[in-house]
Chains A and B, each alone.
Chain A
Amino acid sequence: MLALAPDASSGKAARGLANPRTWSDLGSNESLVWGKCQGSARAPYQVTVDLTEPAFRCTCPSRKLPCKHGLALLLMWSANNGVVADLESAEPFAADWAAQRASRHATASARTAPDPEAQAKRLAERESLMSAGIDDFERWLHDVVRQGLASARRQPPSFWDTAGARLVDAQLPGLGDRVRAMGSNIHARNDWAPHLLGELGRWHLAVKAWRRRGELDEAAMGDLRAVLGWARRRDEIGDRVTDRWWVVGLSQEEDERLLSQRTWLHGERTGETVVLLDFAAAGQALKIAHVLGSIVDGEVARYPGGEPRRALLTGDEPKVTQGAGLPHATDVRTALGHTARWLAGNPWLRRIPMALAGMTVLPGDPPQLVDRTGAALTLAPDTDIWQLLALSGGHPVSVFGEWIDERLHPLSVEIDDRLVSL
């Protein structure tokens, strides 16, 4: 990406500017990326990138081409994390420029966009970039195993960051995030060695799966795309299902750039659990505020993949009503049975939803949740144990949470037929 920079300082400046805080009206479609960047001038610079060439346009006074704003926009778009939304229609300033270019092209070569041939070419280029990144990643994986995990643990944080950044540059941001996260987990976790070995195995599996992607069915390809971080465009997601969706868990994470929310839905008719992902720039509100404990009567489009699937709310404004607690909560062994089935379908699955009934909170070090049969789940260290105790009062309660690496992160508790968030 930064190879497009006219000089090193532009590339560096672009990295600094690739922060959603300084941007507004970000969006992209299949050929354009656009956004407004607040620079030193009073009016924000209007920045547009035509992905087909790529070609850049910016209203800033810089003589460099492309300028740092255009590069920053492209960097944010390539991170593929939802900051630059896929939109149907472009902002007027971007659409106008594209139209001007198109008419110039039309007079020059009588070419019209969108061009299926050009699209296929872009796809082939992307896949070859990713394949090169995968080859590079495999060499890195072999290297780690040859040197040994103990030696990997002695590496500085830059070891993981560099490997992660190379994956991002190769348009594999999902893998990049997982590799970067390992840089801190390897020191934070007591069970770092089995954790690292398991992750290495799953990364290896992603490498192998990519090489055989032609043989994968749609669900497996969906799971692979999710782990690589190759996002789907909204219009590619067509697997729609209507149900009364119970909002059973909300989880928000905010870093210095991005606010992300996972909304877990349980379908009353289908019995299926799906997750919605919503994003906003840090410090801004989410476009869609889901209310815990409500029922959303409407249609979702499910991403290709194994259960539990990611989904999008589609269709018209859904009807929202008040729910009555946590549906289909089970004991620990039944929930682990679902978990095993889902893991068999998708080995890369990390967050596993669990709706658990009759759980007693045991304060202690570490605190645990125990079901009526005595099956005990350890709570994640960041659990608000006091709130959980205050809500339960020592009585068995139904809890919804995410099961991640053998630790439960509780998200909501049912109290008097109402869900209360933690």
Chain B
Amino acid sequence: MSGVTTWDDLLSAALVGTSRRTFALDQLAIPGAERVEADSAEAAVLAGAALAAGYRRAGWTPPTWRGTPPPPAAPDDRPECSPAAAQLLEIMLNRGIRVEGGPELLVLHWLTTARDAGQRPPYRMIVDLLRFGTANTATRPLTRHAIGPRGAWLARHNPVWSWAATVPPQDVVERFATGTRADRIALLGDLRATEPDFARTLIEDTWGDEQAATRASLLDCLHIGLSTNDEPLLEQALDDRAATVRAAAAALLDRLPESARGQRMAARAMRLNKKRATFELPDEPDQEARRDGISDHREPGYGRAASWLVQILAATPLSTWDTELIPEADPEVLIGWTKAALRQRDQEWLTALAEHQPGPELIAALTPEAATAILDRQKKLDARFGGLLAAAPGPWPPRFSTDIVNRLRAAKADNVLQLAAAAFAEHLHPSALAAVEAWLLTADPDRKATRRILRGIAHALTVRATILQEFQ
């Protein structure tokens, strides 16, 4: 009788109980069993179990695994950040810090600073960072950079983290051909960031076989890494049988002023341009204009013809005009030019338009220097100003940071502070901490909300200063 059978016999006797099946120790083929005293069937089972279980535990042998382990992660050449920097990140990810604007802002600040310093978080933080990126979609590009090849490798093992996974090049074509729509779009977006032309050829390969809705979403992906190389596909899509695809193509071509469509729009706009900033209203769009994307979409508050003019100007290269005409322009012309400046990301025009008539959208599209320079010149510290401040990109320059805190404090503009609290926490230069603390010291104790916000901002600045220091 082999050892295994012995144990199994013992187990089956024990399972039904000695009231139904007897058991004697001499059934047990284990050396030493005969020396054990047992004066009842129960004692025999128990003694047998003690003996056999001891042998089984001590004699346990591991199974042999004969597969090939998956390839390890690629090396990460970046040096690991300091232990203190790692500890800060750990506290922020575990929400151990309460600041104005939420800990996400600080994590982003950490990730940006680490990226600029060329350092990486320790590997033990990768899992927490993947969970952070999964919960905060907007932070994914920075998170992905921070976790590096090790994180991208790890993400391949967990479908929840697929957003962070690197797909090996040989698998891309296969995955693009067989994946779900969401998968394919995610894949295409990633690929556009690194190899835009290869990504476009993937779309072109299957273009004719795709459904209209899929064609429109695939085309949308081209906004990442958009260049004139994409023009032929977009020009072709202007003739698509689906309206959604045609609209998507027109929207992308709006951002390529040097394209043939841009030149056709410029020709239309020039025909309407009487002198300087004066335009006559266009007639009903012809076949060609309709193909280029001019629609009957109404600009809120304007008539049909004025809306066509806005669309034509919004798609015309800004190099056609001169920024000095801005002060003379009618409202509908300004709307058209503003749209054009935002789409073409033309800093000269964006700045000129914002100088003339600052709005949150324009301010947000400027560089931090240009935006803060315009904000510096605003006289009225009202709610509208608060909206502009909240939209201004960062980081804010040191002098502006201190000045704006002191100006708001002197003007008792608590409402502006409240409107832009998150922007202060995120963009204010750490050197403005003294100004924030000075305000906090003199703030009216009854202004609880103001004091709370100032404390939150001060806390965020302190943490950000510490982060900067840890990466120096």
| A contacts, CB < 8 Å to B | 141-142, 145-151, 193-194, 197-198, 200-205, 208, 332-333, 336, 339-340, 343-344, 347, 360, 362-363, 368, 370, 373-377, 384, 386-387, 389-391, 393-395, 406, 415, 420
Contacts and interface: CB of A to CB of B under 8 A. Distances in A.
Contacts of B51: 201
Contacts of A340: 58-59
B123 interface: yes
Classify chain B's interface size: 35 or more
Given A147-B19, A336-B60, A197 B49 contact: yes
A318 B67 CA distance: 47
B70 A200 contact: no
B46 A145 contact: yes
Contacts of A336: 60-62
A387 B124 contact: yes
B55 to A, nearest CB: 10
Contact of B154 (A208, A343, A373, A390): A390
Contact of A148 (B14, B48, B52): B14
Contact of A370 (B50, B58, B69): B69
A368 B62 CA distance: 11
Contacts of A201: 46-54
A139 to B, nearest CB: 10
A373 B124 CA distance: 27
B21 to A, nearest CB: 9
Which DSSP category, helix, strand, loop or mixed, fits chain B's interface? helix
Contacts of A406: 60
A342 B17 CA distance: 32
Interface class of chain A by DSSP: helix
A203 B347 CA distance: 81
Interface in B221-276: none
Interface string B1-26: 00000010011001111111000000
Contacts of B42: 141-142, 145-146
B150 interface: yes
B18 A146 contact: yes
Given A201-B46, A390-B126, A145 B65 contact: no
Contacts of A394: 69-73, 153
Given A142-B43, A198-B56, A347 B72 contact: no
22 contacts: A142-B46, A145-B17, A146-B19, A146-B42, A147-B19, A193-B11, A194-B11, A197-B53, A201-B46, A333-B62, A336-B60, A340-B58, A360-B69, A362-B67, A375-B62, A375-B64, A377-B62, A387-B127, A389-B157, A390-B124, A391-B123, A394-B153
Interface string B65-103: 111011111000000000000000000000000000000
A391 to B, nearest CB: 5
Contacts of A360: 69
Contacts of B124: 387, 390-391, 420
Interface in B16-45: 16-20, 40-43, 45
Contact of B65 (A151, A376, A387): A376
Given A148-B16, A394-B72, 6 more contacts: A145-B14, A146-B41, A148-B14, A194-B53, A204-B46, A386-B127
A204 B53 CA distance: 12
Contacts of B377: none
- Of listed B16, B57, B67, residue having the most chain A CB within 10 A: B57
Interface string B145-189: 000001101100110000000000000000000000000000000
B73 A370 contact: no
B32 to A, nearest CB: 12
A191 B172 CA distance: 43
A363 B157 contact: yes
A368 B20 contact: no
A149 to B, nearest CB: 5
B63 interface: yes
Nearest to B45: A145
A204 B15 contact: no
Contacts of A368: 65
A339 B73 CA distance: 33
Contacts of A205: 50
B123 A343 contact: no
A390 B54 contact: no
A149 B15 contact: yes
Interface string B190-224: 00000000000000000000000000000000000
Contact of A374 (B45, B65, B158): B65
10 shortest A-B CB distances, which residue pairs? A148-B17, A201-B49, A394-B72, A201-B50, A198-B53, A204-B46, A393-B73, A142-B42, A340-B58, A376-B65
Contacts of A204: 43, 46-47, 49-50
- Of the candidates A142, A197, A368, A377, the one having the most CB atoms from chain B within 10 angstroms of its own CB is A197
Nearest to B44: A145
Contacts of B48: 201
Contacts of A202: 50, 53
B470 to A, nearest CB: 19
A145 B62 CA distance: 30
A197 B10 contact: yes
A386 B124 CA distance: 10
Contacts of A386: 127, 130, 154, 157-158
Contacts of B20: 148
Contact of B123 (A146, A198, A200, A390): A390
A160 B43 CA distance: 20
A343 B65 CA distance: 26
Nearest to A205: B50
A370 B151 CA distance: 22
A376 B62 contact: yes
Given A147-B17, A360-B69, A376-B64, A390 B150 contact: yes
B402 to A, nearest CB: 42
Nearest to B73: A393
A150 B15 contact: yes
B46 to A, nearest CB: 4
Contacts of A203: 46
B19 A374 contact: no
Given A362-B65, A376-B65, A150 B16 contact: yes
Nearest to B7: A194
B261 to A, nearest CB: 48
A145 B18 contact: yes
Contacts of B15: 148-150, 193
A390 B127 contact: yes
A142 B40 contact: yes
A420 B125 CA distance: 11
Contacts of A150: 15-17
Contact of B72 (A148, A149, A391, A395): A395
